[in-house]
Structure 1
């Protein structure tokens, strides 16, 4: 029996599995998007709340930024205050010069008070710049109060505005979504939270000494975010790992020594830059880093002028530790000139106050005490050597107990103001001048040795008057004051002396040539001997040269100068010629200064403090002349004006009297409305207008003084006073003499 096979119709719909899977995926995707949207909205709400909270609590501003803001504000106030006090001192000086005997005491008291205020403000500059933790707390609360007040004032203004103009509410509704989106944006993914201060090996927290509360600097660039206390452009180093990598790139250490190199403390802000103290691997000296400044600058991708490296000379330092400072800018010293405090000083105590020099890159002021030592200044032409020496001379000029001797290898106005007070003043490098210099040095050394003999006598009779075997301020006030020798253009003097042969013995009795020596050798020995043997009796020297090489800076002279200063030079060899090998090995680097470093000097004072790089204060030539004139009056009052200054004063007084006579003659002719006059008529005019000066003058005296003043003798002036062709003087004749005198 056959069975028929066929298809049957299903009684129910068949379920499509693929369609079901697709629907489930769609629902799942929608659910994920909704969850993600809810999460994003929640995160945006959190971000808005966080940013608003940070803004109102001012936590969006770091302590480093607050400290910089406080320092900028204080610096502006400081400059404004100093400027006002300087203007007041100058005004009182002018009023005092023109004051009569009744008003002079009151003006003098006001001037003294103003100068004292200026001195106090300048002395407090460094302390005023320090930012304490209390200052940061106060500044942060002030910022919070300001922001809350601004919001309150803005809200009140908004409510009043909406009441007056309802359309303002509609406009603000359009701005609200934009503000919400801006405030709700995601925070940077590389932003790191503020972490506790680092701890040392013993578990003790390492405090940040620069700005209290500043967060510890993380190791990597990616982890820095907004908590960085080091600007990204400041050497591109944000942590220990970055700095150690730079040391490897510079060849200071090897890659294998990475783990042996670490920081002693943390990277921290320091003035307009940052600083770090680095412990090198055992067996690696700090001089290895000091000598590779240019390589380190290349590794940091910055200019070498921004880096200062020095051995750590603190109590905790050792031979394998160095201190690195990196400036935020290529020229951290700035381009502005800073006037010296000496400009407005009526008097200066060279013993106690020393010499105010200037400020370093971190705005710290520096002074130098020159007593018992000498100073050598070198560097390229036009970078400020004479300005620094002028600071020393100005401080000495305002102390009437200091005797000054000036020897310069060329003529010119640079040291001319010192002629008013200098005991000896010599300019030039001719053979005759060279011989005079040698004679002055021999005479000065002899006089100073006589002081030593006097000190011996005083010690025997009264030991308490010479407690250390040296002169004292009391002895200086009695006439045994310090002696400052200023020698400029040393290279010109030595070149000129090399052409001079000086006999050192009399001509032999039997005839023949007397023994002679090079004037250069004798000059070097004379300067060096002066520094050596006169130090304990107040002898000081300032030697200036613009060609720092072996010929112009003899080792015999450099080695006896305890203090040395170098402006920009072309290489480390020249730097060593001025500062010495040890100073350069310890990081003194005038050869790394650039074109923009005019006025910047590297000073090695020869003590444990090592060297410092600073921008010297400025005294221009007219101001220097005013200082020297004040110094002259101080010496006249104290009875210490001696030597060439006495004769120069006489010549100066005669020149002033001649100029006054010519001016009075012109004024008399103008008053009479005439352009020529006989001698008798000119005498009448002078006696009428200035009877005290010319009332007793005779005809012959007037003619002689006019001749000495450059007006010449009388000449035919035509018909005057009823005479057809009289003798006398014309306006042009006298005016020409005035012009020639100027």
Structure 2
């Protein structure tokens, strides 16, 4: 920085003007001291924060844990017991002396009774138990004593100042700085309070009380924000390991005596919209003990059970006595809105490689389902989203032209109608005839898939590299041996309908008489289970959906062969086990704990070591599903993989589209020309002149036949038109009324 000076003149006598030099020197001093002053202010702010935290914790007794308080209560009771024991022993000695000096047995009898009563009144073991009420009373007593101490000290200080002001000032000058230094020293990890966790830590955060190397100084109250978390302020905050262990005690997961054996593996830390902690239980206590007491833990934490997830720790460092706890910040961490699936806008999809994008869990982690080589069972109450989950899988399959789709649904309706554009076979209903057809389709599909297995054997003998793992490959799928997806909806309706059907199991009974039969229900369960078992290695997959998760609608034989299972909300853990199995529920899968607001939330167990996941599934609405299936049809037509029922359905659909197109063309041209009616000959002329490529070869008779088939009816008398008195033709309203109206 340049120094401004002046040249001495006659009037100056060689003296430099101080008004110019002094401000320049002060500027240099300020520049030099500036960073130190800023740091000093930051240090002072940190010291003030620590003093405030320590004083606040001291007055609220937050520095005393429940364990320390309970130990103090027990110590005082033991001291009282010792005093009472000493008094009792002294009294007993006096009674024995009186008994010895008694003149007769009658005189000694009352004394003996007193001595016996005194011996019987030993220490009360139950008295040593510390209840929550005892803890509350002791904590309030400690708070009151600390407030009283401060009040007494303040009063004594004022009295001392009034009597000996100099002595009081000297004591304050000596003790004040020492007290300030003690209270403002850096916080230890045990003293760091619970604070809300920010979305993202800012730059410059260093250890408690120490600035980061390349960032500004931050008080340790802010630096600790990434270490701990808390739930809602009104719902019992978790301030560290001691608080969490106390909650485990109150939930009955561990006993008070096991408190010291329970520890956190790491620290409480933020995880998505909530916080997580990994807990090591005492030796001999299984993680399943915590999983089964979610509701008790929610009560101990004063939060709703929907906010808690407990899973056994299946990581590399995990063991059977360790679990992972996650607590959401909100009662409904999944939100109430719908998340549209990325499949809606996808031109095509690689079902083999990309799997099925399902949705996100409460921590905002996306999940993908890889169904190839396995099958999925979906259960839950009505109206919570089972069909939407299956629709995601079907949509991904529809957009992959190598996947063959077979649809069997126990009731008619529009839910699966769009798949008729691509499905190799499509069956709806549960009448006896349809049940017999379903049994035939399952048997035929299994036979066809077993023929694939024979072909794989032949290819393996020819060249083992063509079938490296004894399964179909991408190359084989592209050549026509693609995966087969079986979609079975309303399983309970199909099984109920099949229970009413008796199926012959022999062609010609021996010695005449009636042929032996079996229940269609038993055959259907066996058929579905056999399909899953024997077609897996040749690309067979199944989705089985039921609304009534009980033993009759979820046969064990079928559930056990479905490696993947998904459950929406159910009533009770028994129903949850019907869908997911005992092991999954024991491992923390809890669809029975989902509430009314959990629509779209599914508990998915993919049969992996990582356990289950609870997530909110993406959504594809019915009109969007139809658009996806139409794209899938075009993909199959281009690839030459459109087969079965979809081919015939496409013909009918194409004919219907042509009929609607004719009606629309007629109405559009009549409107363009301003006509409200037209003779048959004139209408044909208009169509051929404006849309020649479509109607060039059409005759008058053919036009009448096509309009009649499209629903416009026969010609009508038009009155005077085109110079004719009353020729035949069509009115604009007559044709327009035949155009199908779109629903909604």
TM-score, normalisation: structure 1: 0.72
Matches within 5 A, 1:13-52: 27-28=162-163, 30=165
Matches within 5 A, 1:391-410: 391-410=392-411
Query: 1:39/1:376 Cα in 2 relative to 1: closer, same or farther (>3 Å)?
Result: farther
Partner of 2:738: helix, strand, or coil?
helix
Match of 2:605 in 1: 604
Is 1:68 aligned with 2:200? yes
Cα-to-partner distance string for 1:77-119 (whole Å, 9 max, x where unaligned): xxxxxxxxxxxxxxxxxxxxxxxxxxxxxxxxxxxxxxxxxxx
- 8 A contact 1:230–1:269 mirrored in 2: no
d(CA) in 2 for partners of 1:258, 1:511? 77
Shift of 1:583: 0.3
Partner of 1:696: helix, strand, or coil?
coil
- 8 A contact 1:272–1:328 mirrored in 2: yes
Match of 2:505 in 1: 504
Shift of 1:144: 6.5
Cα-to-partner distance string for 1:171-230 (whole Å, 9 max, x where unaligned): xxxxxxxxxxxxxxxxxxxxx9669xxxxxxxxxxxxxxxx976765xxxxxxxxxx677
d(CA) in 2 for partners of 1:132, 1:643? 66
- 8 A contact 1:401–1:476 mirrored in 2: yes
- 8 A contact 1:233–1:328 mirrored in 2: no
Partner of 1:405: helix, strand, or coil?
strand
d(CA) in 2 for partners of 1:561, 1:309? 24
Shift of 1:532: 0.4
Query: 1:143/1:379 Cα in 2 relative to 1: closer, same or farther (>3 Å)?
Result: farther
- 8 A contact 2:231–2:328 mirrored in 1: no
Shift of 1:68: 3.5
Match of 1:696 in 2: 697
Partner of 1:719: helix, strand, or coil?
coil
Shift of 1:24: 10
Cα-to-partner distance string for 1:665-709 (whole Å, 9 max, x where unaligned): 112322333322221111112112212211221011101100110
Partner of 1:495: helix, strand, or coil?
helix
Query: 1:700/1:234 Cα in 2 relative to 1: closer, same or farther (>3 Å)?
Result: same
Cα-to-partner distance string for 1:330-366 (whole Å, 9 max, x where unaligned): 1111122222222222221111111111111111111
Query: 1:142/1:487 Cα in 2 relative to 1: closer, same or farther (>3 Å)?
Result: farther
Match of 2:440 in 1: 439
Query: 1:678/1:634 Cα in 2 relative to 1: closer, same or farther (>3 Å)?
Result: same
* RMSD over aligned Cα atoms: 3.5
d(CA) in 2 for partners of 1:542, 1:254? 44
Is 1:247 aligned with 2:248? yes
d(CA) in 2 for partners of 1:497, 1:644? 23
Query: 1:61/1:288 Cα in 2 relative to 1: closer, same or farther (>3 Å)?
Result: closer
- 8 A contact 2:205–2:215 mirrored in 1: no
Query: 1:623/1:447 Cα in 2 relative to 1: closer, same or farther (>3 Å)?
Result: same
Shift of 1:437: 0.9
Is 1:571 aligned with 2:572? yes
d(CA) in 1 for partners of 2:349, 2:701? 47
Cα-to-partner distance string for 1:110-144 (whole Å, 9 max, x where unaligned): xxxxxxxxxxxxxxxxxxxxx9989xxxx999997
Query: 1:43/1:659 Cα in 2 relative to 1: closer, same or farther (>3 Å)?
Result: farther
Shift of 1:243: 1.5
d(CA) in 2 for partners of 1:234, 1:27? 48
- 8 A contact 1:422–1:644 mirrored in 2: yes
d(CA) in 2 for partners of 1:255, 1:61? 24
- 8 A contact 1:194–1:215 mirrored in 2: no
Partner of 2:725: helix, strand, or coil?
strand
Match of 1:163 in 2: none
Shift of 1:539: 0.1
Cα-to-partner distance string for 1:536-581 (whole Å, 9 max, x where unaligned): 0000001111111111111010000000011111110000000000
Query: 1:282/1:684 Cα in 2 relative to 1: closer, same or farther (>3 Å)?
Result: same
- 8 A contact 2:161–2:168 mirrored in 1: no
Shift of 1:36: 9.6
Partner of 2:200: helix, strand, or coil?
helix
Is 1:464 aligned with 2:465? yes
Structure possessing the higher radius of gyration over alpha carbons: 2
Is 1:638 aligned with 2:654? no
Shift of 1:64: 7.1
Matches within 5 A, 1:188-199: none
Match of 2:708 in 1: 707
Shift of 1:33: 7.8
Query: 1:25/1:327 Cα in 2 relative to 1: closer, same or farther (>3 Å)?
Result: closer
Shift of 1:724: 2.9
Shift of 1:725: 2.9
Match of 1:560 in 2: 561
Partner of 1:426: helix, strand, or coil?
strand
Query: 1:40/1:230 Cα in 2 relative to 1: closer, same or farther (>3 Å)?
Result: farther
- 8 A contact 2:230–2:238 mirrored in 1: no
Partner of 2:353: helix, strand, or coil?
coil
- 8 A contact 2:659–2:706 mirrored in 1: yes
Aligned length: 578
- 8 A contact 1:234–1:327 mirrored in 2: no
Match of 2:544 in 1: 543
Shift of 1:511: 3.9
Match of 1:126 in 2: none
Match of 1:304 in 2: 305
Shift of 1:465: 0.2
Cα-to-partner distance string for 1:8-42 (whole Å, 9 max, x where unaligned): xxxxxxxxxxxxxxx99774365578779989999
Match of 1:80 in 2: none
Match of 2:328 in 1: 327
Shift of 1:459: 0.7
Query: 1:348/1:36 Cα in 2 relative to 1: closer, same or farther (>3 Å)?
Result: farther
Shift of 1:430: 1.4
Match of 1:374 in 2: 375
Query: 1:356/1:671 Cα in 2 relative to 1: closer, same or farther (>3 Å)?
Result: closer
Query: 1:685/1:536 Cα in 2 relative to 1: closer, same or farther (>3 Å)?
Result: same
Match of 1:657 in 2: 658
Match of 2:583 in 1: 582
Matches within 5 A, 1:217-366: 232=233, 236-366=237-367
- 8 A contact 2:572–2:592 mirrored in 1: yes
Matches within 5 A, 1:195-214: none
Deviates more, 1:333-342 or 1:652-661: 333-342
Partner of 1:313: helix, strand, or coil?
coil
- 8 A contact 1:374–1:562 mirrored in 2: yes
Partner of 2:726: helix, strand, or coil?
strand
d(CA) in 2 for partners of 1:467, 1:245? 56
d(CA) in 1 for partners of 2:407, 2:656? 23
d(CA) in 2 for partners of 1:639, 1:267? 57
d(CA) in 2 for partners of 1:730, 1:29? 117
Matches within 5 A, 1:40-189: 65-68=197-200
- 8 A contact 1:235–1:328 mirrored in 2: no
TM-score, normalisation: structure 2: 0.72
d(CA) in 1 for partners of 2:726, 2:360? 70
Match of 1:494 in 2: 495
Query: 1:69/1:739 Cα in 2 relative to 1: closer, same or farther (>3 Å)?
Result: farther
Shift of 1:715: 2.4
- 8 A contact 1:665–1:682 mirrored in 2: yes
d(CA) in 1 for partners of 2:303, 2:603? 21
Shift of 1:741: 8.4
